[in-house]
Amino acid sequence: MSANASPTGQPPTATTDPVKNDAVKDSAFLKACRREPVPYTPVWFMRQAGRSLPEYRKVREGIGMLDSCMRPDLVTEITLQPVRRHHVDAAIYFSDIVVPLKAIGVDLDIRPGIGPVVEQPVRTRADLARLRDLTPEDVSYVTEAIGMLTRELGSTPLIGFAGAPFTLASYLVEGGPSRTYENAKAMMYGDPALWADLLDRLADITAAFLDVQIRAGASAVQLFDSWAGALAPADYRRSVLPASAKVFRAVADHGVPRIHFGVGTGELLKLMGEAGADVVGVDWRVPMDEAARRVGPGKALQGNLDPTVLFAGSDAVEAKTQEVLDSAAGLEGHIFNLGHGVMPSTDPDALTRLTEYVHTRTAR
């Protein structure tokens, strides 16, 4: 797929005004993404729609994760829950990074306490041939759910998302979660041609999935490269960056902000910015001002409170939050977030108080 072609094979919808709702377009979140002046620092949390909320656990009772992701009514309810409770400045579409793989027929399941498990890992070129293109019809429930959500959210932006090619490849090659990525790295080093073709195929699938979300009404997208921190910078530049850049190019014509995030990626921040995102997510290991120096000019930043701080009590949360805000004070665009996802046993009230604290302390 060429850089300027739509993942669906149709001409891209080029527009300078992709967000039709003026209140959404003028939201603090989208203004920060565009590095424009904001009335306060906007806040949202990765995994905000999830296991820390009792209302989430209640609606998910007896329903598997992948089944939950394919039910528009359930997706809508779960996505809205943290907006209602925490008054965050953006919703993130409730899904999982392996949903597009499931949609094209990969035999996988998300097992409680383990994560995604792939029945037949991708280890050979014949295995690669099983990964077909993703079409909008494969994920029609996504289009339906986002239509429902944008009607309910009003002036609150909706963030679409997808897993980045490297992280998806890691799950596919390993067959499930891994701490060492020995099989994925063995392919990357030992059969670089197969590795490049695998990531290129996943870039097309990922771009198609994001394209569906944007066309349905998502006003920003985030590419999660959760496991990219396992790579040395030279390996990332050579073996991963081209595929991530392809994803960002493929959706560039829509004009919505594109966010790029990974865990343990302090040494990769400049390269992740070079991949083409408008906003670079920062985990808790690098202060925001130092992250800005590493990324370079022309990018907004997102982050980066350590999620475990939320277990330390209000005084500690406020002190550590203020450190993040002070470090980000000189940035042209800053979106407050955690340095990774909300942990399941987090007190939801701590997130509500944190959102209010950031809004109050940064009010212009």
Task: Give the residue numbers marked as catalytic.
Answer: 47, 51, 60, 96, 171
Phi, psi of 165 (to 5 degrees): -55, -40
Q: Cα angle at 247 between 337 and 340, to 5 degrees? A: 20
Torsion of CA 235, 236, 237, 243, to 10 degrees: 120
Distances (CA, A) of 20 to 141, 214, 219, 221, 363: 22, 12, 9, 16, 27
DSSP states of 66-98? HHHHT-HHHHHHHHHHHHHHH--S-EE----TT
Residues pairing with 281 in the sheet? 302
Which residues, 6+ apart, have CB-to-CB distance to 170 below 8 Å? 178, 181, 184, 227, 230
Instruction: For residues 328 and 252, give the distance between their C-alpha atoms in angstroms, rounded to a whole number.
Output: 27
Helix axes 165-174, 182-190, angle to 10 degrees: 110
251 in Cβ contact with 273 (< 8 Å): no
d(C-alpha 142, C-alpha 204), whole Å: 18
